Structure 1
């Protein structure tokens, strides 16, 4: 980041980063809230739907290991521009494929979509951590609240469109246009960073990157974030479908259930910073994982819609803060922040993207609602290892 990063420029960068997080959430929820419509359009079982989700996950997992390197080479702003264009074109491809009812076309488009989303996610987390350090105050939970807020808006829009019978292809075409415009415009307000030729970059082969992948604390934080992001990802991808199948509610009510989960996450991310300041990361992490485990269990066993809604809300509260706290913990040492944030984000997104498809395969055997109980073990592991996120001593 350059010396021209004045307070006004930093505030503008924080706002732009906040908005890019929000657009990211809007895009994701526009897809996730209407997964039941995809399964119906393509006549898929939960396991087959899991295979489609795995295509998205594989695309992102291919992009994630190189995302830090690309961000260091061309900057976060240009990475978001490239990633946003890829995601927009792929979303249009998904829309066209669904219109033609072709599963193969949808799978290929989701794979490309995953590449765009993977690059986008890592770039904005690196930018967010960088701005956070320059501002000298915690903003990462609020940035992830923007993601959740965008996802809530996307879920509400999805529920409304499903309720009035507007198809997913038309919905996705509009979203693709929004993404294409926003991701080309907003990054102009990011604070530019010029990589120094003599300094290590985020290259996966560089000494700095190798050090990040072998740093014990970074890897433990990654495991904690893995458990947390599996919790969040499973909720994002499967709450709507689990409600429709397990509680026999309408698609609109399933989308509303998902919106409740996202709203709970959003509220906790906006206001949870006070809890972190008061009690510390470790205590809040453990409390979060406990709340997620209880809420998940209530949702799975609830016999009524209203009790399931309570479980979903508690699940959302528990899933809210772990990922942004993990990003902040990885960035505690500014000298190694970019490489370590990239490592933790990569580990976390493995669970966020690959876990839910695997739950779909399990859902073929036991039902998707019951399959969600499988994430209880990673939640407990994250709870036990939460101490790894303890802030580093100030130098």
Structure 2
């Protein structure tokens, strides 16, 4: 297997890392504004959940054709184009005048985010093969850094009274410019021996549905748990803990800081202890974090719980995507696309949680989270018993 020269490979990793970064900035720029948008448009929790779910619905719709786009344009061009359009779409979000127009803008964001996410991960895995060592968890860590940066900027804008339109338009322009730079850095040869070897090993194997479903389940759980804190963390602080709206963004920021740390050290942890042990420990840690936040709804205990959740779920999505991409018996890009598509279903929980919250309370609705976390443990055990390279052992 021929590897790229170190300098070129590192430059490509920097480019794809920048694409992960700006993708997260686009997402995080709007999250701290959720409370403000809910109040501005006078939405109850159920309706708010439906509006937010428009993004994942758009992502699922795009996932049906993402593999074709990826094969037609290539991973890097697909990632760059999606990233630029995602930045421009922030203008549509800023122009939303009611819940329906906001949902439409979020739907478009979901379409672009899904295409870009699949392309980013495909190119990141190409870079990983070209470097000959694991980097995918670290790239997801860079995504988390982007989420922190975008979340901090948005939270600061809220605290300083900056209009949402000014914040989002400025952020969108910055994303377009950085995406162009990333496109130059992230270029790789059209094909490499590493890609050809991986493709041959993948198609030569026998497809195991039960193994693939277990891998998808881990990614789905990771997305669901991430979305619970991202969407409802700030609202939980306001409605249950009793903080002010200006403090709501701290839930997202604390969570993302922990998620970032977990992902940046995730590759080392997996190399040392193995994916099975890391994911199992993460599932237990995540369940403990949600339990702490739910039984002790004070500011610092809740934030501590969200920190534990961030650390616990850190490697779930990247590990599942890597395993799905290497699943035997599938064409190049299919496993990764299906994994990304199914993972997006985890972001469709806001309507369910919102409906249960309106019928009872948000604390009861969030009991789904620790159950989902513990479900990861048997899924990992299933995949670790499989005699296949696409395992989580």
State the TM-score, normalizing by the size of structure 1.
0.88
User: Which residue, 355, 359, 366 being the options, matches 2:353?
Assistant: 359
Name the CA distance, whole Å, in 2 between partners of 1:385 and 1:242: 29
Q: Over aligned residues, Cα RMSD in angstroms? A: 2.7
Question: Aligned equivalents of 1:235 and 1:213: distance in 2?
Answer: 35
1:66 paired with 2:65, answer yes
Q: Structure 1: how far apart are the matches of 2:282 and 2:155?
A: 28
* 1:329 maps to which of 316, 319, 323: 323
Q: Which of these residues, 143, 152, 158, is aligned with residue 156 of structure 1?
A: 152
Write the distance in 2 (CA, Å) between the matches of 1:337 and 1:317. 31
Unaligned runs of 5+ in 2: 197-201
Note the C-alpha offset of 1:336.
Answer: 5.3
CA distances 1:245-287 after superposition (whole Å, capped 9, x unpaired): 1111112211012100110111111123222112110111111
Q: Count how many residue pairs are aligned between Structure 1 and Structure 2.
A: 379
How far the C-alpha of 1:124 sits from its partner, in A, is: 0.4
Q: 2:364 aligns with which of 362, 365, 370?
A: 370
Partner residue in 2 for 1:137: 133
Q: CA deviation at 1:126?
A: 0.9
Task: Mark the CA change 1:43 to 1:280 in structure 2 (over 3 Å): closer, same or farther.
Answer: same
Q: Are 2:338 and 1:339 aligned?
A: no
> What SS class does the counterpart of residue 59 from structure 1 fall into?
helix
Aligned to 1:204: none
Alignment partner of 1:104 is 2:100: yes
The residue number in structure 1 matching 2:199 is: none
Shift in Å at residue 296 of structure 1?
A: 0.9
Q: Which moved more, 1:135-144 or 1:213-222?
A: 213-222
Q: C-alpha displacement at 1:363, in angstroms?
A: 2.1
**Alpha-carbon distance between aligned partners in 1 of 2:352 and 2:101, rounded to the nearest angstrom:** 21
Partner secondary structure for residue 118 of structure 2: helix
What is the alpha-carbon distance in structure 2 between the residues aligned to residue 218 and residue 180 of structure 1? 36
The alpha-carbon distance between structure 1 residues 18 and 244, as it changes in their structure 2 partners (threshold 3 A), is: same
1:278 equivalenced with 2:272 (yes/no): yes
Alignment of 1:1-395 (within 5 A): 5-97=4-96, 101-192=97-188, 194=190, 215-332=209-326, 338-351=333-346, 353-390=347-384, 392=388
Q: Deviations over 1:277-320 (max 9, x none)?
A: 12110111111111111101111221321111111111111111
Q: Is residue 158–residue 246 contact of structure 2 (8 Å, CA) maintained in 1?
A: yes
Distance 1:359 1:367, change over 3 A: same
Structure 2 CA distance for partners of 1:336 and 1:216, relative to 1, 3 Å: farther
